Amino acid sequence: MSQTTWRELHYKEIDSTNLQAKRLAREWKAQAETSFRTGDRIEKTVITADSQTAGRGRLGRSWDSPAGSGLWMSLLFCPDLLPASASMLTLVAALAAAKGIEQTVSLKPQIKWPNDLVSDGKKICGILTEMHADLHQIEYVVVGIGINVTMTDFPPEIGQKATSLYLCSGQKADLDRLKKEILKAFDDFYEVFRQKGDLSLLKEAYEERLVSKGKQVRILSAASQTTGSGESGGGESAGGDGAAPGEWTGICLGISENGGLLIRKVDGETEEIVSGEVSVRGIYGYV
């Protein structure tokens, strides 16, 4: 990105850093004069909060964000990208968050495609990317990153699959240091990503962390996730592999240069699955 430093805005409490980023972007776009914008482009800005009262996760879920126990941050910027390429930013952000964590505590997070970070088979970080765009141009992107840093208690519905940096490493990461390491890593990975406008130069780094690489995975259609049981809407299992309706299984080969997940099906064909369309699970559980 052309500008070298991130503008930083911090709130003690906010509904959601993603929502605030979008409100600010709209405000800055509408103002005749503001130092937060050069021409039409909003300056790259990171918004953090001690706590979020309405933290948001993917697929309309909520994100538990108690005070001081996690890093709740949103990156707001204007990438030179076509709207169709924006989903790749989520994978860039996953790499950056993993590297930032690794630089801060003794932990090597893995990535559960496309953008969850996991450690000890449980989730430590989630990413929610949102954008404002017309057909041809992105006006701005908000990449929200939530990291469970010192949390030891989780709501019952996620208790089985969530953990924190503290529970995995025994270390209490400094939130400011963690934020700075992530921003630095994001700038570095974004620069590499920009060279080709795709993930071809980052594929190796991503696959090194990809938890399902080389493993058998279950692919769950959106319909089977909605019902929670795979019993309706999913139709036949695609691979003739004995999986429940609405799901199919295969071996994860890695990612494509566009960030899709490559799966070798039981019939030997390779299928590329696209972020948002499905969920990927290990054969025995979440990863």
CA atoms of 173 and 9, how far apart (whole Å):
20
| Rounded least distance, CB 88 to ligand BTN, Å | 17
| Rounded least distance, CB 174 to ligand BTN, Å | 18
| Rounded least distance, CB 18 to ligand BTN, Å | 4
- Report the residue number, 78 or 182, with the smaller CB distance to ligand BTN: 182
In order of 58, 217, 244, 279, the CA distances from 226 in angstroms are 13, 19, 14, 11
- Report the residue number, 56 or 209, with the smaller CB distance to ligand BTN: 56
CA atoms of 79 and 87, how far apart (whole Å):
12
| Rounded least distance, CB 167 to ligand BTN, Å | 18
- Closest residue to ligand BTN in the complex (CB): 126
- Report the residue number, 61 or 196, with the smaller CB distance to ligand BTN: 61
- Report the residue number, 153 or 231, with the smaller CB distance to ligand BTN: 153
**Chain positions contacting ligand BTN, by CB under 6 A:** 16-18, 52, 55-58, 61, 63, 65, 72-74, 116, 126-128, 144-146
- Report the residue number, 50 or 198, with the smaller CB distance to ligand BTN: 50
Beta strands 138-148; 247-255: pairing state:
unpaired
Residue 114, C-beta contacts closer than 8 angstroms, at least 6 positions apart: 87, 90, 91, 94, 259, 261, 275
Residue whose token pair is 């991503």: 206
Residue whose token pair is 């058998």: 216
CA atoms of 279 and 234, how far apart (whole Å):
13
| Rounded least distance, CB 55 to ligand BTN, Å | 4
- Report the residue number, 15 or 241, with the smaller CB distance to ligand BTN: 15
Query: What residues are paired with 215 via a beta bridge?
Result: none
- Report the residue number, 63 or 154, with the smaller CB distance to ligand BTN: 63
Q: Long-range contacts made by residues 161-166, C-beta under 8 angstroms, separation at least 24?
A: 161/122, 161/123, 161/285, 161/286, 162/122, 162/123, 162/124, 163/119, 163/120, 163/122, 163/123, 163/124, 164/69, 164/70, 164/124, 165/101, 165/104, 165/105, 165/107, 165/119, 165/124
| Rounded least distance, CB 42 to ligand BTN, Å | 17
| Rounded least distance, CB 162 to ligand BTN, Å | 10
